[in-house]
Amino acid sequence: MPTYKLTLAYEGTAYAGWQIQTNADTIQGNLESAIQRITGYAVRVMGSGRTDSGVHALGQVASFSADSRLDGNEMLRALNGNLPLDIRVLGCQIAKDGFHALRDATGKRYRYHIRDGDLPNLFRRQYSWYVPDHLDEKKMTSAGRFLLGRHDFSSFEAAGAPRATSVRTVSELDVQRRGGEGREEVRLEVHADGFLYNMVRNMVGTLVEVGRGARPAEWVAEVLKARDRQVAGPTAPAHGLFLVHVDYDDV
């Protein structure tokens, strides 16, 4: 029985997140329904992680095993023919035996979009957080350096998803301003070996406090050391967050 590895993109606006739910439309639910129509029986799809309601993906990864003769390209075409247009399979291949999208993941990259300044962008409102204050991206970059490396990120973990450990290694954290006249958008990109529940959104909310001048850059080091979610900044909205890429050592 082959195991398929899928690379997916989706617009999360209309969905209650990745994980299948009884009374809500989800990414996992749509994938499993599409596979059942193709194969004729129920299959469980495993994602590399659960994206929340409203979160988008440019490179989510999922896996499933099915008694099917379809090769990767044939399965890709069949899935896209049975999925809504806001969920697309970008790649599909037969993976090695035992491949598991969640357990085998070794790292992830997320990107967060912020629109700051006088006016929100009407056509980006579902894909970026509008902050009316002008943000100083250089101060945000300085503050973000305190988050690089291996730390206990308890201060950036939302309640509700207990883990064996809150220690993670952040290898990259980049803050840049993009767009016209140097004020269009602030984009934060972060790569780590794993993320706690709402960790990226809580990091963004904390760095925005620095960017808007409410806190000094050194405050982020104090937040990290406290290991207390109550001392960090607010949780940034879900709709500005994109899962960009998932790392695997060998497929």
138-141: Cβ within 8 A, 24+ apart:
139/210, 139/211, 139/213, 139/217, 140/175, 140/186, 140/188, 140/207, 140/208, 140/210, 140/211, 141/174, 141/175
DSSP notation for 44-89? --EESSPPPTT-EEEEEEEEEE------HHHHHHHHHHHS-TTEEE
Distance CA 197, CA 50 (A): 9
Other CB atoms within 10 Å distance of the CB of residue 178? 12
52 is catalytic: yes
Element (H, E) at 191: strand 185-192
Q: Quick check: 151 and 158 in contact, CB under 8 A?
A: no
The secondary structure of residue 250, as a DSSP letter, is -
- Residue pair 3/95 in contact (Cβ under 8 Å)? The answer is yes
Other CB atoms within a 10 A radius of the CB of residue 176 amount to 12
Q: Which of 52, 104, 116, 136 is catalytic?
A: 52
b/e map of 37-68 (b: 16 or more CB within 10 Å)?
Answer: ebbeeebebebbbebbbbbbbbbbbbbbbbeb
Catalytic residues, by residue number, are 52
